[in-house]
Amino acid sequence: MSPIGAGMKQLHDLRLKLREISDQLERGPRQIAARKQHIDKKKEELEAHRAKLKQLKVSADQKNLQLKSSEGRIYELNGKLNIAANNREYEALRSQIAADTMAKSVLEDEILEALEKVDASQIESKKFELEVAKVEAELQQLIATVQEKEAGLKAQAAALQTQVAEAEQVVPPDLLPQYRRLVQAYGAAALAPVVNKSCSECFVSVTAQVYVELRAGKVRFCTCGRLMYVADDE
Ligand SMILES: [Zn+2]
């Protein structure tokens, strides 16, 4: 392998490593953002459950108040019954009490049903609360793990950047602007080894002439724009 080929390979390998480290650095915050979005959704669901529970409690309370007033009314009617002036009044009061007692019994059933709904809703809300607490704890764990890794990854990236800058000395100075533009556009894929006499990025065969030049240590760009090099086992 020509010294330029070897230098290009080293530069390419370093850029690939740097890309891997940069990807890892970006992955953490992306995971955290996705998890936060998931938690926000769960919290919205929890709020909806709480609102439903509150509404069920209000409804049960209202029915309880109705029951109290119904009981009061029946008590009053019974009082009147004891002092009824005549048989007609007595019978009228009795049938009124019977009707009110029937209504009261229906109301009691409704209250029982409402309280069962409150209980079920309470259980469901509690379940959601626990779920939110669990995913929030998992998020904190994830943030800690990401932060723990971040410092090491940043140090690795900085070291690689220095190595890349040194390895870039292999690029002839007059080709540096073109090389920079390529890196801007393709990152680590700005460089492409020739494999089976083809560019490894676009798979187009290089001409015999270009191949000979590459082996002789000349710098050549592929028609796809990449900076090509010939590795030792090619
Ligand atoms: Zn190519």
What radius of gyration, in Å, describes the C-alpha atoms of the chain?
Answer: 40
Structural domains of the chain, with CATH: 21-165 (1.10.287.1490), 171-234 (no CATH)
Closest C-alpha among 113, 172, 138, 126 to residue 38: 138
CA of 136 to the centre of ligand 1 (A): 47
CA of 203 to the centre of ligand 1 (A): 6
Please name the residues in contact with 222: beta carbons below 8 A apart, sequence gap of 6 or more: 192, 199, 201, 202, 204, 206, 228
For residue 2, the model assigns a pLDDT of: 78
CA of 30 to the centre of ligand 1 (A): 32
- Vertex 131: Cα angle to 127 and 133 (nearest 5): 115
CA of 229 to the centre of ligand 1 (A): 11
CA of 187 to the centre of ligand 1 (A): 15
Residue-wise pLDDT tens for the chain (234 aa)?
678 899 999 999 999 999 999 999 999 999 999 999 999 999 999 999 999 999 999 999 999 999 999 999 999 999 999 998 999 999 999 999 999 999 999 999 999 999 999 999 999 999 999 999 999 999 999 999 999 999 999 999 999 999 999 999 999 999 999 999 999 999 999 999 999 999 999 999 999 999 999 998 899 999 999 999 998 766
Under a CB-based contact definition with an 8 Å cutoff, are residues 4 and 220 in contact? Answer: no
Q: Which two tokens stand for residue 25?
A: 């650095």
CA of 220 to the centre of ligand 1 (A): 11
CA of 1 to the centre of ligand 1 (A): 20
The single-letter code of the amino acid at 27 is: R
